[in-house]
Amino acid sequence: MTMGLFEGSQLLAHWRVSTALERTADELGFLVSGLLRQRGLEEHSIDGVSISSVVPSVMYAVEQMSVTYLKQAPLIVGPGIRTGLGIKYDNPKEAGSDRIANAVAAIEAYGAPVVIVDFGTAMTFTVVNEHRQYVGGVIAPGIKISADALFRRASKLPHIDLQRPPSVIGRNTVTSMQSGLVYGFAGQVDGIIRRIQAELGRSVRVIATGGLADVVSPHSETIEQVDPFLTLNGLRIIWERNRGAR
């Protein structure tokens, strides 16, 4: 779970906490209250809350926390929310709210067309055409999912830190695994991006975001820039666009 604290368009603070499915609204409230107090703020000083979630089981607790502790009915990114983004998915309701937030922020910051690669639990590619329309993308297993599957299925392989090895050719088990994950995903990104560009018939800007973007992006030939706060900025922009309508 990633949280950001904005004043206007300025990101004052950001935090990453584990997504614990059993965590209650009160537990989340105590957590968020403590984080705000670290910044010298009280709960009542928050003017609004914007949420994007692809984990439905935690949404009730997050919504209740927002209402009870922050005194704000949260804006939940989903159907019916003003985004300024045209959605050309076969079923627009299936478009992930995190991908919508990424697309909105990328258009604002980098223009269109653009492709956003999000290195999250799943690795997603979000494609926005020159008309600022979300036309679809790609969903693939994320790096951590792939690494965890490798550890579970091959019992003799150790758990490793996800970092760049000293060379592509690993000299031991750990660096061999690191090479497979880092360079393997960099190659996957480049291969998919080139196919997307061929399908669109043009080159596009490629922006990376997500927790492991910094690990893979330096070894990709197609990623132009890493924007670690793209999703948070997208949530801020969407909240601003809906502020007067709520």
**Which active-site residues does the annotation give?**
98
Distance of alpha carbon 48 from alpha carbon 70, whole angstroms: 8
The answer to whether the beta carbons of residues 135 and 129 sit under 8 Å apart is yes
Distance of alpha carbon 182 from alpha carbon 237, whole angstroms: 32
The answer to whether the beta carbons of residues 194 and 202 sit under 8 Å apart is no
| DSSP 8-state assignment for residue 157 | S
The answer to whether the beta carbons of residues 147 and 162 sit under 8 Å apart is yes
The answer to whether the beta carbons of residues 64 and 25 sit under 8 Å apart is yes
Would you state the structure tokens that stand for residue 227, as one six-digit string?
Answer: 């924007």
Amino acid type, 209: T
Answer yes or no: is 97 a known binding residue: yes
Answer yes or no: is 10 a known binding residue: yes
Answer yes or no: is 89 a known binding residue: yes
- In degrees rounded to 5, what are phi and psi of residue 89? -65, 150
Answer yes or no: is 52 a known binding residue: no
Answer yes or no: is 221 a known binding residue: no
Answer yes or no: is 6 a known binding residue: yes
Answer yes or no: is 150 a known binding residue: no
Distance of alpha carbon 116 from alpha carbon 48, whole angstroms: 26
Answer yes or no: is 75 a known binding residue: no
Answer yes or no: is 30 a known binding residue: no
Answer yes or no: is 130 a known binding residue: no
Answer yes or no: is 153 a known binding residue: no
| DSSP 8-state assignment for residue 86 | E
Answer yes or no: is 7 a known binding residue: yes
The contacts of residue 67 (CB under 8 Å, 6+ apart) are 73, 74
Answer yes or no: is 12 a known binding residue: yes
SS3 label, residue 104: helix
* Known binding-site residue numbers for ATP: 6-13, 121
* Known binding-site residue numbers: 6-13, 89, 96-99, 118, 121, 173
* Known binding-site residue numbers for substrate: 89, 96-99, 173
